[in-house]
Amino acid sequence: MEDSQVTGYELSRNWFNFCFENPELINPAHTAIYLFAIEHCNRLGWKRKFGFPSQMTMDALGIKKHQTYIKYFNDIVEWGGFVLIQKSQNQYSANIISISAMPENGKALDKAFINHAAKQTQSNGQSTRQSTDSIIKQLNKEQLTKKQLSELEEIIFKYSDKTEIINYQEILDNYSLYCEKLRKVTKLSDERKKHINGRFKEFDMQTIIDVIKMAGSSEFLSGKNERSWKADFDWIFNPTNFLKILEGKYSNKTAKNKLSV
């Protein structure tokens, strides 16, 4: 850490202020990586410089591809969250970093919490003034007990769980973009989200998008087969079919494709 007076709580607070003020930049994976770095630094006794192993972080957060991880990591370095002292040679070695407090651009996080609490209490028939006073007390770090900080940490780390950070709309948008010749999808039902979650447990977002692209570019899946059959969203996200697409069975380079539903 660059400033020994800065606590883990203050680092996380500054990070979420940055997130609220730059929502167009932030992916949940950024938050998971930054908070895991704080946790790792804490376990090492708050060293000013420390090794941050790439593979260990990927395993802890469920990030499968190194190129995906390093993209998010480099973003945090660029934004000033990490000071990169020594770059790792590959995913099996460690970057040497120092955690830096994100620049404070205002009180966006405080305002967001206050506004949310006000809406919640109004719906329950309570006064906005009571809500605001209550939430401000909680935002004052001097009044947060160790138990409250522990509870806050547990809530934050839930976002490192992969099922919590799936961007369903991004998947739907990519399907609509790359699978124009396939059957249209107008809504992601709970059942469809369940299938997406299942694939997300095995593959990262980039792989899922790659499979969507491969399905959309497949002449066979687009109806050029003996039965003029076309694949649809549900068929693609079936675990067996998803793997076949990924392995290239329905690629246009494949000499003979056999329909297997």
194 & 150 share domain: no
Q: Residue 140: its pLDDT value, please?
A: 45
144 & 184 share domain: no
Q: 39 vs 138, which has greater pLDDT?
A: 39
Q: Residue 1: its pLDDT value, please?
A: 52
Q: Is residue 138 part of a domain?
A: yes
* Domain edge (last residue) among 162, 178, 193: 162
* Domain edge (last residue) among 134, 162, 190: 162
233 & 175 share domain: yes
How many Cα neighbours within 13 Å face the side chain of 91?
14
Mean pLDDT of 215-222: 94
148 & 242 share domain: no
Which residue in 200, 192, 157 sits closest to 64, CA to CA? Answer: 200
Q: Is residue 258 part of a domain?
A: no
Q: Read off the DSSP letter of residue 93.
A: S
Q: What are phi and psi of 145, to 5 degrees?
A: -80, 170
Per-residue pLDDT reduced to its tens digit, 68-95: 999 999 999 999 999 999 998 887 888 9
153 & 75 share domain: yes
Q: Read off the DSSP letter of residue 184.
A: -
Q: Is residue 256 part of a domain?
A: no
Q: Does the pLDDT at position 123 exceed 90?
A: no
Structurally, the chain folds into a number of domains equal to 2
21 & 85 share domain: yes
Cα separation, 227 vs 74, whole angstroms? 48
Q: Does the pLDDT at position 239 exceed 80?
A: yes
189 & 108 share domain: no
173 & 157 share domain: no
For residue 234, give the amino acid letter: D
* Domain edge (last residue) among 127, 162, 197: 162
Cα separation, 38 vs 142, whole angstroms? 20
Q: Does the pLDDT at position 38 exceed 50?
A: yes
Q: Residue 5: its pLDDT value, please?
A: 57
Q: 97 vs 121, which has greater pLDDT?
A: 97
Cα separation, 62 vs 58, whole angstroms? 6
Q: Which domain holds residue 195?
A: 166-246
pLDDT band at 135 (very low <50, low <70, confident <90, very high): very low
Question: Would you call 214 helix, strand, or coil by DSSP?
Answer: helix
114 & 6 share domain: yes
Cα separations (Å) of 198 from 48, 84, 194? 40, 35, 6
Q: What are phi and psi of 189, to 5 degrees?
A: -75, 170
Q: Does the pLDDT at position 246 exceed 60?
A: yes
End-to-end CA distance of the chain: 55
Mean pLDDT of 222-232: 92
148 & 88 share domain: yes
153 & 34 share domain: yes
Mean pLDDT of 194-214: 90
Q: Is residue 259 part of a domain?
A: no
Q: 36 vs 153, which has greater pLDDT?
A: 36
181 & 101 share domain: no
Q: Residue 56: its pLDDT value, please?
A: 92
